[in-house]
A and B are shown apart, each in its own frame.
Chain A
Amino acid sequence: MATTVQTRPAVHRVEHVGSSKLTEAIYRILLYGAVIVGGVIFAIPFYWMLRTSVMPTTQVYLFPPEWWPERFEWHHFKTPFAVFPFARFFLNSTFIAAGSAIGAALSSSVVGFSFARLRFPLRDIMFVVVLATMILPEHVRLVPTYLLFVQLDWIGTYRPLIIPNWFAPAFYVFLMRQFFMTIPRELDDSAMIDGCNPIGLYWRIHMPLSLPALGVVIIFMVTSQWNDFLYPLIYIQGVPNYTVALGLRLFEGHMTNNMQALMAASILGVMPTIILFFFAQRYFVQGIVVSGVKG
């Protein structure tokens, strides 16, 4: 009996008790109608971005606007690279995102492990502090950390954007700790009997088992760093060092009457996160489940 309950899909399918087949059919039609209309509304901005990026100049500024390009012009995708070193911007953004993601994954996993598995005084208080910092508006730290990085002579380098993420950002510590809590303790005991110290226990057993959670941390970190605007704006100096986000803003100032090139650059700018999402959709969903439902 228990198994039959479990194998049922865990969806709440509305079946109208005592209502006719007709009301059921009407209900389904309304439901699909709403899902489709909503989906179209959510997808249209993407369509408009694509449509603009391939339109001929004579058509893009027509009034009233037209929905379909009379012919496809792909050369607008070359313009950003011709005007600014956009390839360089992509490399810069990739470097910052990768550097931050590796650091965040390593540090938060080690810290999460210690919070989940090792017993030491003040541990539970520290974990409460981790939770509290998760809800901290980070801008209260903006000016003093800037001052700190001025003192360290880090302004104009990528260090202010990368290094803080090597010190276990609270949200990822929480995520990793929640994941380690689900690993059965019997595994620890057998490893301890084999003479592992806690570092060996982490490295040989917990780290390999936590690869999915590490994937979540990496993906979240890459996405947030890729989309970040404020910190690069403050810390990065000199156009060749710009990230994609800064490059887009710069490009906009120079392309006031070339909307196709601007939209083409924007498409290129969001492409990496979209590709990442499609390849790692499972991790996105999983990360949300761990953080949202158990939180």
Chain B
Amino acid sequence: MKPTTREAWFGYLLASPWIIGFIVFTVGPMLASLVIGMYRTDFLSETTFVGLKWYQNVLRDSLVRKALINTAIFSFTVVPINTTLALLIAVMLNQGIRLQSFWRTVYYLPSVVSGVAVSLLWKWLYQPDIGLLNSILGPILRPYGIDPPRWIFSQEWALPSLIIMAFWGAGGAMLIYLAGLRGIPTSLYEAAEIDGASSFRRFFAVTLPLLTPTIFFNVVLNIIISWQVFTQALVMTDGGPNNATLTMVLHIYNTGFQYFYFGYASAQAWFLFVIVLIFVILALRSASSWVHYERV
């Protein structure tokens, strides 16, 4: 059946908020960003065309490289560990335990709260002398002559501190896994049980394959979010000590909104965009080899 012209007009009319928003706030700015990246401008006093200078700079700038390495380390540790941790918690909570919704809330609540308040809290937890973490670790480590790490105040431990803090937010992914686990038909488990499959085997032969679309969704989502880490890095360490926690978005923010090199900030933002795009495409490409879509 061909759509009537009248229906098509209504279609465009109702879709117009998105169409306008897409042009004004997404495609327009993205293209403008490419062009702004060719200027030296602070939007006020001076605007000079510099061609591809900023784009070439991005690849040479040691601070950008530092930010790139830090963000990559953050992403490549947080994504797999968070995915596994969230899956583990979801599977545990799905074993028919008592008070399931209570435990779900306990694990999920940290991911509801985020932002500055949470960064301030963790800054306090990481306080090397009287913070929570070292008040637990200190008595365990000191008898062996080891001093607990100085966390966000130490160059080696600052980035791991932000990574550990990210595990606290595993509840968001856990909730998605719980929903995915609910979607697995019990009849499949019954069939596996009749075939005499052990619980271990049932997990790897039934649960895990059927959960792969959910795992895939979480991994892609996590890749995107983890590459954009910003608030913690600014509030807790302001990129320090000695740029140990300088992340890509923090560096873009500093370049544009602290030092007012808007052209260079734009070029860096495109660089980040391309990197995230590459990892998302790699994840999508890999999907066909491990994501199991049930044909119904």
Q: Is A262 an interface residue (CB 8 A)?
A: yes
Known: A119-B3, A147-B43, A248-B120. A141 touches B33 (CB 8 A): yes
Which residues in A have their C-beta under 8 angstroms from that of B186? 5, 8, 10, 12
Q: Are B21 and A135 in contact (CB under 8 A)?
A: no
Which of B10, B107, B122, B129 has most A Cβ within 10 Å? B10
Q: Is A181 an interface residue (CB 8 A)?
A: no
Q: Are A38 and B107 in contact (CB under 8 A)?
A: yes
- Of B9, B110, B179, B265, which is within 8 A of A289 by CB? B179
Q: Which of A70-78, A94-102, A210-218, A273-281 is the interface stretch?
A: A273-281
Known: A140-B272, A230-B230, A285-B179. A14 touches B95 (CB 8 A): yes
Known: A118-B11, A223-B112, A263-B121. A167 touches B18 (CB 8 A): yes
The number of chain A residues with a CB under 8 A from chain B is 107
Residues facing A in B134-172 (CB within 8 A) are 135, 138-139, 168, 171-172
Bound-complex Cα distance A295 to B217 (A): 7
A101 to chain B, nearest CB (A): 15
Which residues in B have their C-beta under 8 angstroms from that of A136? 26, 273
Known: A64-B135, A199-B14. A269 touches B117 (CB 8 A): yes
Which residues in B have their C-beta under 8 angstroms from that of A146? 256, 262
Q: Is B12 an interface residue (CB 8 A)?
A: yes
Q: Are B132 and A168 in contact (CB under 8 A)?
A: no
Which residues in B have their C-beta under 8 angstroms from that of A230? 230-231, 249, 253
Q: Are B115 and A228 in contact (CB under 8 A)?
A: yes
Q: Are A114 and B32 in contact (CB under 8 A)?
A: no
The chain A residue with its CB closest to the CB of B177 is A292
The chain A residue with its CB closest to the CB of B200 is A14
Q: Are B112 and A273 in contact (CB under 8 A)?
A: yes
Q: Is A62 an interface residue (CB 8 A)?
A: yes
Which residues in A have their C-beta under 8 angstroms from that of B257? 233-234
A38 to chain B, nearest CB (A): 6
B184 to chain A, nearest CB (A): 7
The chain B residue with its CB closest to the CB of A201 is B10
Which residues in A have their C-beta under 8 angstroms from that of B256? 142-143, 146
Which residues in B have their C-beta under 8 angstroms from that of A118? 3, 7-8, 10-11, 14
- Of A42, A167, A273, A295, which is within 8 A of B107 by CB? A42
The digit string for B210-247, where 1 denotes a CB below 8 A from any CB of A, is 00011001101000100110110011000000000000
Which residues in A have their C-beta under 8 angstroms from that of B218? 292
Known: A118-B11, A147-B36. A137 touches B112 (CB 8 A): no
Q: Are B199 and A114 in contact (CB under 8 A)?
A: no
Which residues in B have their C-beta under 8 angstroms from that of A202? 14
Which of A115, A143, A291, A292 has most B Cβ within 10 Å? A143
Known: A52-B124, A111-B18. A277 touches B109 (CB 8 A): yes
Q: Are B95 and A248 in contact (CB under 8 A)?
A: no
Bound-complex Cα distance A140 to B276 (A): 11
The digit string for A106-139, where 1 denotes a CB below 8 A from any CB of B, is 0110110111001111010010011001011111
Q: Are A139 and B228 in contact (CB under 8 A)?
A: yes
B134 to chain A, nearest CB (A): 9
Q: Are A42 and B28 in contact (CB under 8 A)?
A: no
Q: Are B96 and A11 in contact (CB under 8 A)?
A: yes
Bound-complex Cα distance A285 to B13 (A): 32
B258 to chain A, nearest CB (A): 11
Q: Are B29 and A135 in contact (CB under 8 A)?
A: no
Which residues in A have their C-beta under 8 angstroms from that of B198? 16-17
Q: Are B14 and A292 in contact (CB under 8 A)?
A: no
- Of B26, B89, B172, which is within 8 A of A38 by CB? B89
Top 9 nearest A-B pairs (CB, nearest first) are A167-B21, A120-B11, A119-B3, A227-B115, A114-B14, A292-B176, A144-B29, A118-B11, A144-B32
Which A residues are within 8 Å of any B CB, using their own CB?
Answer: 5, 8-18, 31-32, 34-35, 38-39, 42-46, 48-49, 52, 60-65, 107-108, 110-111, 113-115, 118-121, 123, 126, 129-130, 133, 135-148, 150, 164, 166-170, 173, 197-199, 202, 223, 226-230, 233-234, 245-246, 248-249, 252, 259, 262-263, 265-267, 269-270, 273-274, 277, 281, 284-285, 288-289, 291-293, 295
Q: Jot down 7 A-B pairs with beta carbons below 8 A, ordered by A.
A: A17-B197, A65-B130, A120-B7, A144-B32, A168-B21, A252-B120, A292-B218
